[in-house]
Structure 1
Amino acid sequence: MKKYDLIVIGSGMAGMTIASKCAKKGLKTAVTDSRPYGGTCALRGCDPKKILVGAAEIIDRAYKMKEIGIQGDISINWQDLMAYKNDFVAKMPKDVEKGYEKAGVDMYHGAASFESEDTVRIEDNLLEADKIVIATGARPVILDIPGGELPIDSTDFLNLEELPKEITFIGGGYIAMEFAHLAARAGSKVTIFHRGKTPLENFEADIVKHLVNATEELGMELHLESDVVTVEKKDKGFTVKAASKNGEKVVQTDLVVNAAGRVPELDGMNLEKANISYGKKGIEVNKYLQSVTNERVYAAGDAAASKGLNLTPVAVLEGHAVAANIIRGNSKKPDYTEMPSVVFTLPTLAAVGMTEAQAKESSLEYQVKDGSASNWYNAKRINESTYAYKVISDKEGHILGAHIIGPHAEEMINLFAMAIRAKLKVADIRNMVYSYPSMGSDIGSMV
């Protein structure tokens, strides 16, 4: 048996942060992953997705500018785009391993399972540690329906050698909406089935309505309050059946993508042997991200049932907190004050802070400023018809929440996040001098 100060299970952004920081402080550290090193974001999520979305952005921009001076047709060569993405992804695991090697971290490759409260097995290796971190991330949910094993998942989609002519997505969250918009811009006919009344339920409802309209205007079929009940293989394609209050809907499609959500990846870890309490949202942790039932164990990122959103920057934030608590003892609590999140559809939807529904549920007095900005200069200059905002502030003028859909919303939302963190008031934001013409210059008019 080999003994360590720290074992980190998972090599994504949370695990990478913790292992590297602790090793540099002199802790004898080991890390393991059942997949290539790098985690979901770098290999199977945010980064490769945004490379593909970048191509779709060009198509979208050119299409909208056709009426105002751009001529000719452009299209996505899927094979060339995927080759570029694959080249980027292929380099990542070796780069990550070099970082671990430089930091003096011992690397293992394999799934970890607990033998006791302080011992894990990784294939033929039995390791003991004073502290163990679970940072295994999340995996796609398994569809519990006849034919539920037939759809591909988000990882498979990001590795498609060819893009089918017709694609059906099951789900209405980030993954479904982002990939649907990408596929539509690449030339596929897209159908989306979602069981909820609206997609992206956790986002500001009024802003999501703009996205729904933009989605349908692109020719995508969006079926809400529709439960997919069966998926059947038919010749070269699939038959998808969905039930709703309006009856049964049957779609013939070339490909089905399971984008119905993600759950913490804790399968096969024998957590019970280590007295680790967990639920549907992950490892149950205290305010220091320490297991509530096994003080040797910490969790971070999507594997932890924390108050943080399931986002890469939040995983990094929690990684820094966990590393500090392991090194110096429990003293650091993650600050979730501002957690901007973005849905990389086209147009892009971005949010930070409270929705209006959450403001209503709170005891705070608040005010709302919202509206369409489609007739503002920044929309007109690129012929963008979808551009809207909603900003919520308290009675003193501090920003409680900001919600934007439109061009470069992913960048504008960061300015609102900074305003929340810095406790700037509406008057401060209005009175700033912004560069012009820029998207940021619209912020003063949004508050």
Structure 2
Amino acid sequence: MHVFDLIVIGTGSAGATVAQAAREAGKKVAIIDKLPFGGTCSQRGCDPKKVLVGVAELIARSEQMSGKGISGSPTINWADLMRFKKTFTDSVPQRTETKFADLNIQSFHGAATFLSANTVRVGEEELKASHIVIATGQRPKPLDIPGEELLVDSTGFLELAELPKEVVMIGGGYISFEFAHIAARAGAKVTILHQGKRPLEGFDADLVELLVKAMESIGIRIVLEANVTAVEGKADKLTVRYSQQRKSHSISTNLVIHAAGRVADVAELDLEKAGVELDKKGVVANEYLQSVSNPAVYACGDVADKGLPLTPLASYEGRIVADNILNGNRQTYQDNPIPTAVFTIPTLASVGLTEEQAKKQGRKVNVTFQETSDWYTSRRINESFAAFKTLVDEDTNQIVGAHLLGSGCDEVINLFTLAMKHHISAKDLGDTLLAYPTHGSDLKSMLPI
């Protein structure tokens, strides 16, 4: 039996933040992961995905500017792109383990299973601690359909040795949309099957509608209210069967990507033995990110039932958990404005309330919505789809929501977030002089001042 002050399960940004803070405070710390050390974002998620998106953006930009100063048609060499991507991901596990070793954090490889409220097993080893932190992230949600084993998840897509000619994405969320753009710009024929009435349900409906038009303009097919019932075939000859409006349909393809949602990755943990409560979103935690049913256990990152599954939020939660373990519960989870972006082409970015949410809350807001493909920042790169929507409280002049579509909006959304976080009024933000001509300099025209 190994005895520690703290056991952390998961080595992503949430778990690593807690482990390092505790060790620097002099605690004896163990950290466990069943996957290569370093977490999802740096190896199987946001970071490698953005590398692929960057190349797709170059293809899109060259196509937009064809005949306007650019001649020729560049193409994506998938094998070269994968080699470049690996220069970012391959070194992560060893680098992470070395960092833990340098801090004298003891590493364990394998799936952790709870034996009791404060004891876990990893392989043949048993570990005990005063506090245990669950930071295992999420995994693809089981679809429970025949042929599910034929699907490839997001990790598999990012490891493809070559891209097939035809790809089907199951799900209409950000992963599906981002991968669809990458695959389409690399020359694949892409179909998205989404069971809902509209994709990207958490984002502004008007901007999503424009994004869908942008995707359809490059040949991406989006099928809504499509309930996938089975996947059949083998190797690169697959058939996806789905129902739509009580009618059965099928589509032939070379590859099927599971992008239909994720759930807390806790299947092997045996949480019942630890008395840890779980709901549909994840480990049920109080405002201190402490398990509501086992005070020895904390949860942070995507596995917890708080907030959105975003890396900056995971690190933020990790800092809260570390402080509460070291100093007693004193830091609480706060619903700060959190920006998020869908790295499609054009990019979709959002922070704060949507128009629908503001109406449900009965907020009196000034809504400004405009398509901006005729603005200079869009015209100079011949961008056909661009728009914004801002929501400003009529009484306080505070920005309560901002939704952007177009190049550069993944950076501009940070300006709106800064204003919301620090209560900078729409007038004061609009009166701020920003470098011109930049995407940021368009900000004044997005506000009702």
* Normalised-by-shorter TM-score class: over 0.9
Q: Does 1:232 align with 2:232?
A: yes
Aligned residue for 2:79?
A: 79
Quick one: distance in 2 between partners of 1:40 and 1:193?
A: 25
Which letter maps to 2:327? R
Aligned pairs for 1:409-424 (under 5 A) are 409-424=409-424
Aligned residue for 2:293?
A: 293
Aligned residue for 1:143?
A: 143
RMSD value, Cα = 1.0
TM-score by length of 2: 0.98
Q: Does 1:64 align with 2:73?
A: no
CA displacement at 1:86 relative to structure 2: 1.5
Aligned pairs for 1:26-425 (under 5 A) are 26-233=26-233, 236-245=236-245, 247-306=247-306, 308-395=307-394, 396-425=396-425
CA contact (8 A) 2:392 2:401 kept: yes
Aligned-partner SS, 1:206? helix
Across the two proteins, how many residue pairs are aligned to each other? 446
Which letter maps to 1:320? R
TM-score by length of 1: 0.98
Aligned-partner SS, 1:397? coil
Q: Does 1:4 align with 2:7?
A: no
Report the identity percentage: 48
CA contact (8 A) 1:288 1:331 kept: yes
CA displacement at 1:102 relative to structure 2: 2.3
Which letter maps to 2:340? S
Which letter maps to 2:201? E
CA contact (8 A) 1:174 1:200 kept: yes
CA displacement at 1:236 relative to structure 2: 4.0
Aligned-partner SS, 1:149? helix
Which letter maps to 1:237? K
CA displacement at 1:117 relative to structure 2: 0.4
Quick one: distance in 2 between partners of 1:155 and 1:234?
A: 20
CA displacement at 1:171 relative to structure 2: 0.4
Quick one: distance in 2 between partners of 1:346 and 1:165?
A: 20
CA displacement at 1:154 relative to structure 2: 0.5
Structure 2 gaps of 5+ residues are none
Quick one: distance in 2 between partners of 1:180 and 1:152?
A: 14
Which letter maps to 1:286? N
CA displacement at 1:248 relative to structure 2: 2.5
Which letter maps to 2:360? E
Which letter maps to 2:298? Y
Deviations, residues 360-419 of structure 1 (Å, cap 9, x unaligned): 111432111111111100000000011100001112110101000100111111111001
Deviations, residues 258-304 of structure 1 (Å, cap 9, x unaligned): 11111000001111111111112111000000000000000001110
Which letter maps to 1:182? I
CA displacement at 1:65 relative to structure 2: 0.6
CA contact (8 A) 2:236 2:253 kept: no
CA contact (8 A) 1:152 1:257 kept: yes
CA displacement at 1:101 relative to structure 2: 1.8
